Structure 1
């Protein structure tokens, strides 16, 4: 499978709100740097599935990816959506491993109000899984 296929599948899965399909594009040791703090990193399929399953349903059905640029192992994909009635943009840095699977995603959410609404939507859902954030804040 071409390395770009995993990024295309990832983007399609996010747009479809399919957390399991998102995880299928990711390496076993994949991680996501949270947009609130670069020190908080969600790691591994189990924790990433919880985060994506909590967040993706809250995004609007009109999420679309506007721009995708990159090379063999790094892509920047820009998406637009609505979250809680607020327009949100995300310039997501997607890094891939040698097999093309996604090993790290770093979302850059804007505007500030969109980031705040994202935290308000995700926070209560993650409180049901306290271990996810505890592990994310612990580091490697």
Structure 2
């Protein structure tokens, strides 16, 4: 049987258009999305994933998918984007169910300063939408410190140990 990738095509188009509702339409009702920050942070079902995508697609600009690789019902997608002036590269492992809908998403983001910047942009709004205003105020402090450390490492420390 030939695997249909209609859901993947719809997912890509929605991501590039910044359309959270269109992206969710490509997902199975029991979808899980594993955060690039920690595997302990999992979004489950259309409602939670829609909330994440709505916030993320507002924070991330100029998503352009560059590559797609598939084997069976597993697809790897790669895109390039921006968060302000910071370049972001993301890999997505998508697993399709028997109906051809996306049932599992695992995200991988690089470089580290892009990931920590993403945390500072998404975390507070996700906490607010989850009814946790105190946490929404705390997240920028914690993630801002991590972002500062990651940016300093990227700009000042890692260039000194780069291969010559």
Fold match by TM threshold 0.5 = yes
How many angstroms apart in 1 are the aligned matches of 2:34 and 2:10?
20
How many angstroms apart in 2 are the aligned matches of 1:123 and 1:75?
27
Greater relative contact order (Cα < 8 A, sep 6+): 1
Q: Unmatched 5+ residue regions in structure 2?
A: 133-164
SS at match of 1:42: strand
Q: Which structure has the greater CA radius of gyration?
A: 2
Q: Unmatched 5+ residue regions in structure 1?
A: 133-140
Alpha-carbon displacement from aligned partner over 1:53-93 (angstroms, at most 9, x marks no partner): 01101211x22111000023100000000012100000110
Partners of 1:84 and 1:117 within 8 A in 2: no
Which one has the bigger helix percentage? 2
How many angstroms apart in 1 are the aligned matches of 2:63 and 2:127?
26
How many angstroms apart in 1 are the aligned matches of 2:4 and 2:97?
9
User: For residues 1-140 of structure 1, what are the structure 2 equivalents within 5 Å?
Assistant: 3-60=4-61, 62-130=62-130
How many angstroms apart in 2 are the aligned matches of 1:111 and 1:81?
12
How many angstroms apart in 2 are the aligned matches of 1:55 and 1:75?
21
Alpha-carbon displacement from aligned partner over 1:22-62 (angstroms, at most 9, x marks no partner): 100000000100011011110010111111001101211x2
- Indicate the residue corresponding to 1:137 in structure 2: none
**TM-score where L is the length of structure 1:** 0.88
SS at match of 1:63: strand
Moved over 3 A (4+): none
SS at match of 1:103: strand
* Superposition RMSD in Å: 1.4
How many angstroms apart in 2 are the aligned matches of 1:131 and 1:4?
36
**Shift in alpha-carbon separation, 1:71–1:129, aligned structure 2, 3 A:** same
* Number of matched pairs: 130
- Indicate the residue corresponding to 2:156 in structure 1: none
